[in-house]
A and B are shown apart, each in its own frame.
Chain A
Amino acid sequence: MIVGRREAWTGRLLLVLLMAVTLMPFVSLFFTALHPSGSYPSGVEWPSDPQWGNFAKAFQAAQMLELVKSSTLIVLGVVPLALLLGTLAGFAIGHLRMAGRNVVFLVFVLGLTLPFEGIITPLYYQVRDMGLLNTRWAIILPLIGLYMPFAVFWMRAHFVNMPDALSESARIDGANVWQLFWRIHVPLAMPALSSLAILLFLWTWNQFLLAIVLVDDPLKRTMSGALGAFQGQWGTDMPLLCAGSLLILAPTLVIFLIFQRRFVTALLQGSLKG
Chain B
Amino acid sequence: MTRPTPESAVDPDATRPGPAAVTRKRSPARSGGLRTPSWVGWLFVAPALGFYAVFVLRPIALTVQYSMYRWDGIGASTWAGLGNYVKVFTDPDLFASILNAIKLIAFFSVIPVVLGLAIASTIRRIAESRLALVARTVLFLPQVIPLVAAGIAWSWLMSSTGLVNQLLTSVGLGGVARAWLGDFSTALPAVGVIGAWVLLGLCTILLLSGMSKIDMSLYEAARMDGAGPMREFFSITVPSLRQEIGVCVTVTVIAALASFDIVYVSTQGGPGNATMVPGLEIYYLAFSERQVGMASALAVVLMLLVLLVALPIQWLTKDRSS
Contacts and interface: CB of A to CB of B under 8 A. Distances in A.
Contacts of B258: 115-117
A10 B209 CA distance: 19
Interface string B19-46: 0000000000001111110111111110
B41 A264 contact: no
B135 A18 contact: yes
A245 B149 contact: yes
- Chain A interface main SS type: helix
Chain A interface: which size bin?
35 or more
Contact of A85 (B41, B51, B165, B257): B51
Interface in A17-39: 18-19, 21-26, 28-29, 32
Nearest to A168: B34
Interface residues of B, number: 112
Interface stretch (B78-86, B102-110, B153-161, B180-188): B153-161
A252 B34 contact: no
A133 interface: no
Interface in A233-272: 238, 241-242, 245, 248-249, 252-253, 256-257, 260, 263-264, 267-268, 271-272
B49 A104 contact: yes
Given A14-B122, A15-B135, A263-B144, A118 B51 contact: no
Interface string A93-135: 1111111111011111111111111111111111000000000
Interface stretch (B2-10, B88-96, B234-242): B2-10
A224 interface: yes
Given A15-B123, A26-B141, A268 B205 contact: yes
Contact of B163 (A7, A24, A145): A24
A268 B34 contact: no
Interface of A: 4, 7-8, 10-12, 14-16, 18-19, 21-26, 28-29, 32, 40-44, 84-86, 88-89, 91-102, 104-126, 141-142, 144-146, 148-149, 151-153, 156-157, 160, 164, 167-168, 171, 177, 181, 202, 205-206, 208-209, 212-213, 223-224, 227-228, 231, 238, 241-242, 245, 248-249, 252-253, 256-257, 260, 263-264, 267-268, 271-274
Given A121-B292, A144-B51, A164-B34, 8 more contacts: A18-B200, A43-B162, A43-B163, A97-B13, A97-B34, A98-B32, A117-B258, A121-B295
Interface of B: 3-6, 9-11, 13-14, 31-36, 38-45, 47-49, 51-60, 62-63, 66, 73, 119, 122-126, 129, 131-132, 134-150, 152-154, 156-157, 161-163, 165-166, 197, 200-202, 204-206, 209, 244, 247-248, 250-251, 254, 257-258, 260-261, 264-265, 278-279, 282-283, 286-287, 292, 295-296, 299-300, 302-303, 306-307, 310
